[in-house]
Amino acid sequence: MGVDGGPVVHRAVVALPEPADAFVAVPGSGRTLVWVNGFLLGRLRTERGPQITLYAPAPLWRAGTNEVLVLDLTGTAEPLTVELRAGPDLGPTAAASQS
């Protein structure tokens, strides 16, 4: 846990051959904020959803080493997994009702 159960920052280093669009996921996390190379992508609440991924456009990435920071507001000291996905996961969807 963080100091007194407070927020914890996790850091991941991702090596890419060239910049490309990606969707960032942090499975198993709670309430988080995600940065890529110093740019705040947004927040995720994977326990509540529905959004599972954040869009990270190609201009945010560099060829070579990239830094992904995750601020876990729930204070989880366990290592988190950062995944780069090719497509979005916006959670469950329901058909619009026909009225």
| pLDDT tens-digit map of 29-69 | 888 999 999 999 999 987 777 889 999 999 999 999 999 99
Instruction: Measure the CA–CA gap between 78 and 45, rounded to whole angstroms.
Output: 17
Which two structure tokens, joined as six digits, stand for 36? 């890529």
Q: pLDDT confidence of 20, banded at 50, 70, 90?
A: very high
Question: In the chain, what are the domain boundaries?
Answer: 3-85
pTM of the model: 0.84
Q: Does domain 3-85 have CATH number 2.60.120.260?
A: yes
- The string over 54-80, giving b where at least 16 C-beta atoms fall within 10 Å of a residue's C-beta and e elsewhere, is bebeeebbeeeebebbbebbbebeeeb
Query: Can you tell me the mean pLDDT for 2-15?
Result: 82
